[in-house]
Copies of this chain bind each other. A is one copy, B any other.
């Protein structure tokens, strides 16, 4: 979906005069606020640095090369991706170190990756089965290339990955005997651990990763001189980082963290996960800040207590219902929030959100912002919504707008899903 900008001057920022928020932007539009974005970029890099770990942010979250560039400029070691086409898109936009934290399956996908390796990409992908090792070995041998792979160690009841260290070592042996493959490290993902004691089990899993990596190393199965040990999604990265730090991995391994959602954070799932991080790390003063919102307009007020907003599943992630954050009159100033107290999205269709408004909003009606009553909702009012799980909002858009605190568009960022 296009985030329309109406005129070219938006690409260059707006003049200082005037304050019409998101003027000339066709709504709905997805917006990334630049101050919390900058905060998050620096925050996570600092966090990784403090633990002696490299950061390879998961790029699948945004698939926005402009944000990849920001992440690399902030100090990231590389970008993590989930599929071969994602790797190609990132490489085409200047990302040269790519961690495909996923199995590479299918000849057409192998062809994409082989082309990138041939073009000079420092690229790693993941294996967890003999069959896949055979397939990759054959394909890359025919191409006369060597592919760097990480063995995945998973958990029982989880997603991909070997289920124990014996499987890991057996696969390591097989890779050693496969000339076209280079064993470059071990990979895991703790985000699929289903547990009543997640902290304890995530830490235990991180230690299993450390032990499996040390066992591979002990058996001389790593071909890379500094093998990579990598794990962590966007919820438990602090626990992974702690264990890797405690294990003093940095001496011989390259520890790599891969959170993705941190870059714009969210208003749901990851906000809650972040509370856990801050509880475990009382020394951290301020956590991540939500930076991604979808702006949309009230299109109908058909019944008392009901607003229909022109925004739906096509525009915003629907894992949970979106949450209204602020409201503005069209053509107004960004400082003038008319309020959304008591607003509740109760249903999301493809192109529409149903919002319950307070039906007896005595207090809301009495509250005033300047000369307007907060309860005075009008067709055309612009509402900023937050969502849970940013990955599923980004993928709705072909362009996302980076805006400043006056809600002027600083950059139209293309996505490459």
Contacts and interface: CB of A to CB of B under 8 A. Distances in A.
A105 interface: yes
A159 B352 contact: yes
Interface in A325-360: 330-331, 349-352, 354
Nearest to A354: B159
Interface in A265-301: 297-301
A1 B298 contact: no
Contacts of A84: 26
A379 B417 contact: no
Contacts of A129: 300-302, 379
A207 to B, nearest CB: 20
Interface in A385-417: 391-392, 395-396, 398, 417
Query: What 5 A-B pairs have minimum CB-CB distances, sorted nearest first?
Result: A160-B300, A103-B299, A26-B108, A131-B379, A1-B417
Contacts of A314: 60, 391, 395, 417
Contact of A396 (B352, B380, B395): B395
A308 B83 contact: no
A380 B131 CA distance: 9
B26 A156 contact: no
A380 to B, nearest CB: 6
Interface in A304-320: 308, 310, 313-314
A96 interface: no
B105 A310 contact: yes
Interface of A: 1-2, 4, 6, 23-27, 60, 82-85, 89, 102-103, 105-109, 111-112, 128-129, 131-132, 135, 154, 156-163, 192, 297-303, 308, 310, 313-314, 330-331, 349-352, 354, 378-380, 382, 391-392, 395-396, 398, 417
Contacts of A313: 392
How many copies of this chain does the complex contain? 2
Given A105-B297, A105-B379, A395-B396, 4 more contacts: A24-B108, A131-B378, A158-B302, A161-B300
6 contacts: A105-B299, A135-B379, A135-B380, A156-B303, A159-B300, A398-B417
A112 B26 contact: yes
Contacts of A391: 314, 350
A314 B156 CA distance: 25
Contact of A310 (B2, B103, B163): B103
Given A314-B417, A391-B350, A27 B308 contact: no
A31 to B, nearest CB: 14
A380 B106 contact: yes
A108 B89 CA distance: 31
Contacts of A132: 299-300, 379-380
A321 to B, nearest CB: 14
Contacts of A105: 297-299, 310, 379-380
Contact of A112 (B4, B103, B160): B4
Contacts of A1: 85, 395, 417
Nearest to A109: B26
Given A84-B26, A417-B314, A102 B160 contact: no
Contacts of A103: 299-300, 310, 379
